[in-house]
Amino acid sequence: MIPYEQCSGVSQNKVGHNRGTSTDCVTSKMERAPKVNVSHDEKQRRTTVAAKWSIKNWLILINERAPPIVYLLLAAGACLSGLQLFQDRVAPWELSWGIVGQLPLLFLIRLMDEVKDFEKDKVVHPERPLPRGLIEYSEVVSVIHAISGALVLYSLMLAAVFGPAVGVAYFLQVFYVLLMYVEFGIGEWLDQFPVLYGITHQAVIYLGVSFVAALCGVHWSLRVLMTGSVAFSGFFTYELKGTYLVVCGKWKTFAVTVVTVAVGAVSSYVTGLHWLLWPMEAILLLSLLALFLLPIDKTMKKAHKPVELLSVLYLLLHLWR
């Protein structure tokens, strides 16, 4: 992906055309402005202030786009439920390594999405941190590179502590996320098939489950596959309430939802979790069907809220199972 060039003083669009026409005026004013000598202490003070503002802006981005509590619930839920399923107990040692590995990986995926959606968000969501200029595009790209490198090193640490199988399992997860970042080299083609795009970007869940299983000494098996399918059903079904509803329409979205819920129903039966998950799956499908059958008008915008809440509960239940 080619970083978007941002120039101070002149805003540019993706193809490089200037939006402003006052560049010469600004340049001439700068040339006429008297030079001011700045002391070394003043330079240090300004640098410190800039650094503080940068940290503050990053905290704002994290709070808005990657709420720590939500991301901790996602990382901890996947690790806790996986450890419980694969070794019938939750060992604090393995749990700690699992959460430390999954939490920054989730944040990395969030930053990658911010970068990939930058041009679109400037039009559709200009209020988001990156489009509104809270943090420089290039700075986010640099952080993505830094986190990616750190996670590769973390896979080596996992291999040293738990054995090569765990390190390789985690590295494959990180590598797949990097492939997602470059859209597998076929981004324009994938954009034509929203459901296939979603499947390719949710498939990383299976690698996450295999990593947790490896922490428990469990190798790839049908149980690992079915456990991954339970989580896949939760995440994909949750995602369907947004972009897919707009792109595919309500009935195609409902049809895909039926398939993803069916995946969850079958996989939960194989893993022995059907008694817990089937009632929620039935409630979600019936609620979505009732919503789509109702006549939609401007006074019914809030009718989607109960279904959105159910989809969130559906996701959490399929993680904290």
User: Averaged over 236-260, what is the pLDDT?
Assistant: 79
Q: Whole-angstrom Cα distance, residue 92 to residue 79?
A: 11
Lowest mean pLDDT among 5-19, 182-196, 221-235, 297-311: 5-19
The tokens for 190 are: 């994938």
Say what percent of the chain tops pLDDT 70: 74
CB 89, CB 83: distance < 8 Å? yes
The predicted-structure confidence for 145-203, as pLDDT tens digits, reads as follows 999 999 999 999 999 999 999 999 999 999 999 999 999 999 999 999 988 999 999 99
User: Averaged over 249-278, what is the pLDDT?
Assistant: 89
Output the average pLDDT for the chain: 81
CB 83, CB 212: distance < 8 Å? yes
Q: Please name which of 254, 208, 196, 252 lies closest in space to residue 232, comparing C-alpha atoms.
A: 208
Q: In terms of residues, how long is the chain? A: 321
Helices marked H in 240-273: 245-248, 250-270
**pLDDT level of residue 308 (50, 70, 90 thresholds):** low
pLDDT, residue 288, reads 79
pLDDT at 60 over 90: yes
Higher pLDDT, 136 or 21: 136
Measured between alpha carbons, how far is residue 309 from residues 283, 290, 316 in Å? 12, 15, 11
The predicted-structure confidence for 87-108, as pLDDT tens digits, reads as follows 888 889 999 999 999 999 999 9
Q: What are phi and psi of 7, to 5 degrees?
A: -115, 135
User: Averaged over 282-305, what is the pLDDT?
Assistant: 68
pLDDT, residue 54, reads 83
CA dihedral angle for residue 153, residue 157, residue 159, residue 163, rounded to 10 degrees? -170
Q: Which residues, including other chains, have CB under 8 Å from residue 193's CB and lie 6 or more apart?
A: none
Higher pLDDT, 278 or 243: 278
The DSSP secondary structure of 165-194, one letter per residue, reads HHHHHHHHHHHHHHHHHTGGG-HHHHTT-H
Q: Whole-angstrom Cα distance, residue 51 to residue 40?
A: 17
CB 227, CB 82: distance < 8 Å? yes
Q: Please name which of 218, 310, 311 lies closest in space to residue 271, comparing C-alpha atoms.
A: 218
pLDDT, residue 286, reads 86
The 3-state DSSP class for residue 221 equals: coil
The Cα angle at residue 238 between residues 233 and 239, in degrees rounded to 5: 105
pLDDT at 34 over 60: no
Beta-ladder partners of 12: 18
Q: Whole-angstrom Cα distance, residue 138 to residue 67?
A: 22
Q: Which residues, including other chains, have CB under 8 Å from residue 184's CB and lie 6 or more apart?
A: 190, 200
* Helices 204-215, 222-239: crossing angle, 10 deg rounding: 140
Helices marked H in the chain: 23-32, 40-65, 68-87, 92-116, 118-124, 137-162, 164-181, 187-190, 194-202, 204-215, 222-239, 245-248, 250-270, 274-293, 304-319
